[in-house]
Structure 1
Amino acid sequence: METLESLLAAIAPTGESRDILNPATGELVGKAPIHSVADLDAAVDAAEKAQPAWAALGHAKRSEIMNKAADALDENAEALAQLLSREQGKPLNGPNARFELGGASAWLRTAAATPLETEVVVDDESGHAEITYRPIGVVGAIGPWNWPIMISIWQIAPALRMGNTVVVKPSEYTPLSVLALINVLNSVLPAGVLAGVSGDREVGARLSSHPTIGKIMFTGSTATGKAIIRSSADTVKRLTLELGGNDAGIVLPDVDPKAIAEGLFWGAFINTGQTCAALKRLYVHDDIYDEVVAELTAVTGAMPMGVGTDENNVLGPLQNKAQFDIVDRLVESAKSSGAKVMVGGNPDRDQPGYFYPATIVADIENDNPLVQEEQFGPALPVIRYSKLEDAIAMANGVEVGLGASVWSADASKAREVASQIVSGTVWINSHGGVHPMIPFGGSKQSGYGLEFGVEGLKALGIPQIING
């Protein structure tokens, strides 16, 4: 079992490095290696050489090894959570660092256990045809800084299960957690099957254009996703892109405001709002608007925020100064427009760390930048509506469509509304929850391709039709 210190020692750079600082305190967490394009090329070459033997093991043996890797992950979960909390900023408790490590283990085990049977599509007097899936080869995985360990596993697990090898490029903001994760997994996996390369945009651009890489999995901004599409085009790579979101929630007038307040809060503020599929715009019917705002304000004001390693906190800092500035700008814009800040909105700019208080903004117009732009932080605008068709139109009125939610005491009515919302997922009376067997993906400019479950496994293989 590793300690925090031994995890950092195992990934300590031998060459050029840069400091990684705790976003809550400004203290040094560790030093990250600065890998080069040549380092990436070497990792891809090793992965290409290792892939045939890994594929030849077959699904059962690969799954057995993956379960042993999950055991190693569980054995080292606390040290990884401590590192994650310091590097990313999220608290240990609540739906945060320890939760993330538990989810990573669950997704790894589920990918190992999910069957993908040969599908017979025709079997009659006209003939016999079936679909099976072959490995792609080498998969490039580019991850974000908000859920660095969990999302890395979302990319790694199905790729390995399908017989691919994987080269991971973590975010420049959170490389240590991902490199430590890979080091733990590699205590079980065969050499060359999984590698991490910590580099800058040049390394990422090379990964997305590398002729040996057969598929790119990317979670991050829509702008970066578009750049990956362009750079991958010449080699016709397969892509799974989970891009930006600006998720809407619609609250119907038949709900109990007090009963839904905590669900609304966590839908919006999980990981201090730094989640692609978090609730980012809330539309509430005029009949219950004031009550919903009051109950949500009370819940928000009671949630403790602070340094992640304090066991009492459930909200942490924003991970980096650039994200703090985005949230700050959008809330200040809302204030200037006459919107009403019910709680929060007043960061202490003299304290260490990128802390922005959990903020509820009421009496705000739908065209306000805080509503129309993805804030990706702890500031939720609550917009009043009187006609349901107007709320649906406003929910659909942005160019992204990752997730949405409908809140109602009438499940059939909620599903009717959900069917009119253009997004990859619509939750009923909750927001943002994911399950390893339920496919997840976006619509519009939130990307394409599905992750999780059987569909997620298929996305990491090349379909082959056997006809005859």
Structure 2
Amino acid sequence: MEQLRGSFFIGGDWVEPASDRRFTLVDASSGEAIGTVPEGVEADIDAAVAAARKALHASGWADASPAERASVIERFLAALTARSEDIARSVSTQNGMPIAVSRALEGGFSLGLGQYYVDLARSLGQPDIRPSQMGRETRVEHSPIGVVAAIIPWNFPVTLAISKIAPAMAAGCTMVIKPSPGTVLDSYILAEAALEAGVPPGVLNWVAADRDVGAYLIAHPGIDKVAFTGSTAAGRAIARTCGELLRPVTLELGGKSAAILLDDVDLDAFIQGVPMASLLNNGQTCYLGTRILAPRRRYAEIVDALAGLANSLVIGDALDPDTQLGPLASSAHRDRVESYIAIGKNEARLVAGGGRPSHSNRGWFVQPTIFADVDNQARIAQEEIFGPVLAVIPHDGEEDAIRIANDNPAGLGGSVWSADSAHATDVARRIVTGTIGINGYLPSVGAPFGGVKASGMGREFGPEALNAYQNTKSIYVMG
């Protein structure tokens, strides 16, 4: 059934848009339109920022105790829990995420992430008193950074929204949230939950808009911090704006991570881990290890195993619980991924996939694709494809593997696979990246997540994320 939404959520109420422009939402599995929503313009952003600024102090939100804010967040999470299946189905329909993944992550992991910040907020509030070399003591105090512009991508729209909303709320900030035009329906579910939970008016505001209006939000004089997840190219543009304004910014950007297989790798365990570590969400995940660095003496064995896995995956409708690989998020994104597959056919040896599945002419499907005999300087090895495409690169031992892994502009994720986890950890320490897994990869809500080099700056998850939404003041008590 087609969903028609006519309002934005601003100031704790449903507000008519300032223009008649609209976005059309599409079912990624069928290519059919499933609804329309308003498209925000500058006036809508102005209204949302004004509501957020008013709420910062007028509602008492910024001045509330961390425990009081934690209670509000917990009610919000309870309202989301009741809607978890609706959230999962909405996300899977819009961006093609297999429903089993969406239920686990968008409808499950995101709630656990939020609860982490509820618990963390309840542990805050104790005085931070430190020794002073010249006076009696120094008191270190934290206050909300202010109004936050949160720019959310389409690949994990709920998890990545909560990764910003929960720590920002715990810190006492208010927010203007801009979802991606491709995944907007889920933001209405979050807004309805916020309304039901009694989140103070103006603390959370949602306005869907395109990039130009998003740029207006980022540069808006009423914004105190920007939190962005998306491409490296967009992140550079945002960094330039925030640098000129001296505006704090968190950038979680793209990746081209390496999965390093050492000589003693348990190949069966690795193949079992590939769907999560290298192909999660149809390859539309920033941290995935899409460069597979395989020891030359076991290279043929590893390539054959990866090809066998790719050929065995169940490709189908995102809402089918048996689906392991769903469609890509849009027709335009499928075109982009297919353009890289065409490049790869001229750079390397195709051993699996490389086309569209034959079972359906509907939706934005691409076969899981494996390239062998890949040089690390090839475009398919250096550039983020953001689809189910893996490049298998041979290495001549541990030192060579480390060199290859670090020879890329990105530095977000990665993994090391070995029968000796202690040795694998030693190798992991030498990889220039923000996060890395040993015999698998799964982010932890209590530990910082983010990248180095072209993969961004700042961290989400853990106490580090909450700290990024706070100003810090030192009070020197001399006598």
User: TM (normalized to structure 2)?
Assistant: 0.92
Q: Assess if the C-alpha contact under 8 Å between 1:141 and 1:216 holds in 2.
A: yes
> What's the counterpart of residue 152 of structure 1?
161
Q: Distance in 1 between matches of 2:313 and 2:56?
A: 47
2:164 pairs with 1:164? no
> What's the counterpart of residue 366 of structure 2?
356
2:149 pairs with 1:107? no
Q: Distance in 1 between matches of 2:253 and 2:460?
A: 13
Q: Distance in 1 between matches of 2:324 and 2:351?
A: 20
What are the superposed Cα offsets for residues 269-324 of structure 1, whole Å, 9 maximum, x if unpaired? 10001001111111011122222222232233222111111222121111122321
Q: Distance in 2 between matches of 1:92 and 1:31?
A: 22
Q: Assess if the C-alpha contact under 8 Å between 1:404 and 1:426 holds in 2.
A: yes
Give the drift of 1:126: 5.5
Q: Distance in 2 between matches of 1:309 and 1:384?
A: 37
Q: Distance in 2 between matches of 1:369 and 1:257?
A: 27
Give the drift of 1:38: 0.5
5 Å-filtered alignment, 1:67-216, equals: 67-93=74-100, 95-114=101-120, 115-116=123-124, 117-122=126-131, 127-188=136-197, 189-216=199-226
Point out the more displaced range, 101-110 or 65-74: 101-110
5 Å-filtered alignment, 1:383-462, equals: 383-431=393-441, 433-462=442-471
Q: Assess if the C-alpha contact under 8 Å between 1:133 and 1:461 holds in 2.
A: yes
Give the drift of 1:118: 4.3
3-state DSSP class of the match of 2:258?
strand
Q: Distance in 2 between matches of 1:18 and 1:331?
A: 29
> What's the counterpart of residue 11 of structure 2?
none
> What's the counterpart of residue 44 of structure 2?
39
Q: Which amino acid aligns with 2:236?
A: K
2:69 pairs with 1:62? yes
2:328 pairs with 1:318? yes
1:296 aligned to which of 299, 306, 309: 306
Q: Assess if the C-alpha contact under 8 Å between 1:285 and 1:385 holds in 2.
A: yes
Q: Assess if the C-alpha contact under 8 Å between 2:262 and 2:397 holds in 1.
A: no
Q: Which amino acid aligns with 2:462?
A: G
3-state DSSP class of the match of 2:224?
strand
What are the superposed Cα offsets for residues 94-121 of structure 1, whole Å, 9 maximum, x if unpaired? x234532111111111111113454443
2:246 aligned to which of 236, 254, 261: 236
2:378 pairs with 1:342? no
3-state DSSP class of the match of 1:81?
helix
1:130/1:288 Cα in 2 relative to 1: closer, same or farther (>3 Å)?
A: farther
Give the drift of 1:234: 3.7
3-state DSSP class of the match of 1:324?
helix
What are the superposed Cα offsets for residues 7-51 of structure 1, whole Å, 9 maximum, x if unpaired? 968879764323111121011221111111101111100110011
Q: Distance in 2 between matches of 1:326 and 1:6?
A: 28
Identity percentage of aligned residues: 37
Give the drift of 1:202: 2.1
Give the drift of 1:242: 0.3
Give the drift of 1:79: 1.3
Q: Which amino acid aligns with 1:347?
A: R
User: TM (normalized to structure 1)?
Assistant: 0.94
Q: Which amino acid aligns with 2:78?
A: D
Give the drift of 1:6: 8.5
Q: Assess if the C-alpha contact under 8 Å between 2:6 and 2:37 holds in 1.
A: no
Q: Assess if the C-alpha contact under 8 Å between 1:341 and 1:361 holds in 2.
A: yes
1:264 aligned to which of 270, 274, 288: 274
**CA RMSD, Structure 1 to Structure 2 (Å):** 2.1
1:88/1:8 Cα in 2 relative to 1: closer, same or farther (>3 Å)?
A: farther
Point out the more displaced range, 355-364 or 295-304: 295-304
Q: Assess if the C-alpha contact under 8 Å between 2:98 and 2:318 holds in 1.
A: yes
Q: Which amino acid aligns with 2:55?
A: A
Point out the more displaced range, 299-308 or 61-70: 299-308
1:225 aligned to which of 235, 260, 273: 235
1:125/1:223 Cα in 2 relative to 1: closer, same or farther (>3 Å)?
A: closer
- Any stretches of 5+ residues in structure 2 without a counterpart? 9-13
Aligned length: 462
Give the drift of 1:336: 2.0
> What's the counterpart of residue 50 of structure 1?
55
- Any stretches of 5+ residues in structure 1 without a counterpart? none
3-state DSSP class of the match of 1:158?
helix
1:7/1:278 Cα in 2 relative to 1: closer, same or farther (>3 Å)?
A: farther
Q: Assess if the C-alpha contact under 8 Å between 2:303 and 2:372 holds in 1.
A: yes
3-state DSSP class of the match of 1:20?
strand
1:287/1:146 Cα in 2 relative to 1: closer, same or farther (>3 Å)?
A: same
Q: Distance in 2 between matches of 1:86 and 1:328?
A: 21
2:333 pairs with 1:327? no
Q: Distance in 2 between matches of 1:26 and 1:89?
A: 11
> What's the counterpart of residue 19 of structure 1?
24
Q: Which amino acid aligns with 1:266?
A: M
What are the superposed Cα offsets for residues 195-242 of structure 1, whole Å, 9 maximum, x if unpaired? 011111221111111111110000001111111112223432111100
Q: Distance in 1 between matches of 2:207 and 2:6?
A: 17
5 Å-filtered alignment, 1:242-281, equals: 242-281=252-291
Q: Which amino acid aligns with 1:142?
A: I
What are the superposed Cα offsets for residues 114-149 of structure 1, whole Å, 9 maximum, x if unpaired? 134544432688532232210011011001110011
Q: Distance in 1 between matches of 2:104 and 2:424?
A: 33
Q: Assess if the C-alpha contact under 8 Å between 2:142 and 2:470 holds in 1.
A: yes
